[in-house]
Amino acid sequence: MRTCKLPFAKLHTRTFVLVFPKLNKHMKVSSLRIAAFALLIFGLNLNVLQAQNADPNLANQYYSDGEFEKAATLYGQLVEKERRSDYYFTRYIDCLAKLEKWEEAEKSVKKQIKEQSDNNTLYVVYGSIFEQQGKDAEAEVQYERAIDKMATDYAAVIRLANMFLADSKYDFAIKTYERGAAITKDPNRFAYNLGDLYRRKGEPVKMTEQYLNALAADPGKLPSLQTIFARSLGPEDITELQTQLYARIQENENPDYVELLAWSFVQRKDFKSALRQYKALDKRLGESGQRIMRVADDAAEARDYDSAIAAYEYIIAEKGQTSPFFYEAKREAMQSRRRKITEGYSYTQQDLTILETEYESFLSQYGKSHLSSSIILQLADLEAIYLRNLPKAIELLEELKKMPGLRPDVLARLKINLGDYYLMHGDVWESTLLYSQVDKAFKEDTIGQEARFKNARLSYFNGDFQWAQAQFDILKASTSKLISNDALDLSVFIMDNLNLDTTSDAISLYAGAELLVLQNRFDEAFLKLDTLATGFPEHSLQDDILYLKARIWDKQRNYDKAIPLYQEVAEKFKEDIRADNSLYALAQIYELKMNDLEKAKEIYEKIFLEYSGSVFAVDARKRFRILRGDKVQ
């Protein structure tokens, strides 16, 4: 055979001789065969070099751009370089699947499994190849094999479960966690994970069971479980939770189970049952009553005043005067009693007198001091607003003001309330002095802004409308929603009714009527409003006159007269600023005074649908949802 004279062959013959010198020495091989071997070796060297130079970023870019042929080539080279890289291998197989190169994909997976027999996640990749071809039975075999070959450590369980979760294979993730619990010999190790999975699957019974298992293993899970249950459980599911808790408590009086059971009653607004559970916990754990205070506050917020009072009275009776909650509990108990009386459709003078006697008995027994300051403030409010005994209210607060040890915020609240009572009594000068003191001492605080608003309102009552409006415009930016809304309301009112007039006679009459209403001088207020209506029949204040008359009747609890006037404003003056005020007042009457919840819900809905820009829109939507039975945070 003639020797090949090609320079290429000569070049690679030398390469071959360098690489395999012994083979060249002991074997007689033609230059052409040597060249062929050289070409093979050279090709392999090129592949190695290409794998070394394969850019993972470029591969990822090709993958993102949908250029799977190019991506597959680069991922394949990266796999050759890093045989144990799950990421590159999975991407490589995914590219082959998208190109429907099923045989090549399966061959590659089998090879990888053979090389990495300890890597059970490869069976998931193998199963996905079958699944994408519609071979579900074959896919499930591989998934089951992945679970069977799982290592006996926590990380391996989580890793495999996450692979199933990434593809929404909840049943296989559940099997993974269940086998993980078995092989790690820790039955509750993955209970929380299982609870999450059953929640995603919409199986509340199993979800509850697993979450309670998780709570048994880790008491620290209680707050997060309460959040999950609050978001996930409907009324029937809450009943299931309670059933499971009762069964567990019979076997093991775990305090966390009792806590969760009490919490579940709160979710159902069954504060009486919740209180029973919290009392048991309080006694068993020897606590200071913080749980009882919490459920009492929740009950009061939900207007279940009987349960709230019972809870507060438990603190007072069981914990005594040494309890850090003693005075707070007494204050809130009295507040709940007053709200129970005054929020009803009707209450008698006798009801108020009984409540007054209870306040006075408490103060007589425990004394008047800075410790009982909140009780004194409440009693003064009862005297001024409900019993209409302004001299006694003023006397109570003037006496309290002189007591040593008052906190600055309590003193500020005292001065604002005292300023209100002096204003109601007709002593405007004393009122503005008190408001100014609070404004100066708490300039940047909400209570200071409240005092500033009340001083501006005094200027409004006195007819200094331009200065008052300037203050209201500043207070519109208040951090307090109530102050901001009231300031906006009065600012708009002045702008609408003053700037269009050549004189301020009409708005002055109206402001004077408002002051009379504040002072409970209702007959005089009606006379002034009638004078305004007849003297200025074409004035834009007509809706405001009707609205203020409705408020007077409302304040006197004469709802039969208040309701038609509010309705008239809402129907005849739909585009004016009192329309949404009237609707909100109507809704409040129907909800809180008449207990006509359907009618209240209808009006609340009208407010946030037709008056979406109203300051009442947000609260109206919230009240609507509560009355509809929604869970509102």
Domain boundaries, the chain: 7-52, 100-186, 188-267, 499-628
Q: Strand ranges (DSSP E) for 229-314?
A: none
CA dihedral defined by 502, 506, 508, 509, rounded to 10 degrees? 160
Residues 6+ apart with CB under 8 A from 448: 412, 438, 439, 441, 442
Q: Compute the 3-state secondary structure of the chain and give helix, strand, coil in percent, each to the nearest 5.
A: 80, 0, 20
149-153: average pLDDT: 89
> 168 with 132: CB under 8 angstroms?
no
Residue 353 exposure: Cα atoms within 13 Å on the Cβ side: 3
Per-residue pLDDT at 41: 41
- Cα three-residue angle 599-604-610, rounded to 5 degrees: 120
Distance CA 266, CA 274 (A): 6
pLDDT of 24 reads 46
What percentage of the chain carries pLDDT values higher than 70?
Answer: 90
pLDDT digits (tens, 9 = 90+) for 454-511: 999 999 999 999 999 999 999 998 888 889 999 998 998 898 887 655 578 899 999 9
Band (pLDDT 50/70/90 cuts) for residue 156 is very high
- Average per-residue pLDDT in the chain? 88
Q: Which residue has the tokens 């914990």?
A: 319
Q: Is the dihedral of CA 315, 317, 319, 320 positive or negative?
A: positive
Q: What is the pLDDT of residue 164?
A: 94
262 pLDDT more than 50:
yes
Least confident of 3-12, 173-182, 591-600: 3-12
Residue 498, helix vs strand vs coil:
helix
pLDDT digits over 383-433, tens only?
999 999 999 999 999 999 999 999 999 999 999 999 999 999 999 999 999
Stretch 573-600: mean pLDDT: 93
Can you tell me the distance from the alpha carbon of 229 to that of 209, in angstroms, rounded to the nearest whole number? 12
Whether 265 has a pLDDT exceeding 90, the answer reads: yes
pLDDT at position 633 is 58
**DSSP strands (E only) in 353-500:** none
| 100-186 shares its CATH topology with 499-628 | yes
Q: What is the reported pLDDT for 342? A: 84
| Residue 239 φ then ψ, to 5° | -60, -40
Dump pLDDT digits (tens) for 548-574. 999 999 999 899 999 999 999 999 999
Least confident of 16-20, 160-164, 396-400, 421-425: 16-20
pLDDT on residue 347: 80
Task: Give the confidence band of 632 by pLDDT, cuts at 50, 70, 90.
Answer: low
DSSP states along 552-588 = HHHHTT-HHHHHHHHHHHHHH-TTSTHHHHHHHHHHH
Q: Residue 36: pLDDT band by 50, 70, 90 thresholds?
A: very low
Written as one letter, the residue type at 440 is: K
Band (pLDDT 50/70/90 cuts) for residue 127 is very high
* One CATH from 1.25.40.10, 1.10.1050.10, 2.40.40.20, 3.40.50.280 for 100-186: 1.25.40.10
Looking at CATH, the fold of the domain delimited by 499-628 is given as 1.25.40
Please report which confidence band the pLDDT of residue 118 belongs to, taking 50, 70 and 90 as the band edges.
confident
Tell me the C-alpha to C-alpha distance, in Å, between residue 138 and each of 125, 162, 175, 425: 12, 21, 18, 89
The predicted model scores a pTM of 0.71
Token pair 């069964």 is at which residue? 247
pLDDT at 2 over 50: no
Q: Which residues contact 200 (CB under 8 A, 6 or more apart)?
A: 170
Measured between alpha carbons, how far is 192 from 335 in angstroms, rounded to an integer?
A: 42
Fold type of domain 188-267: 1.25.40
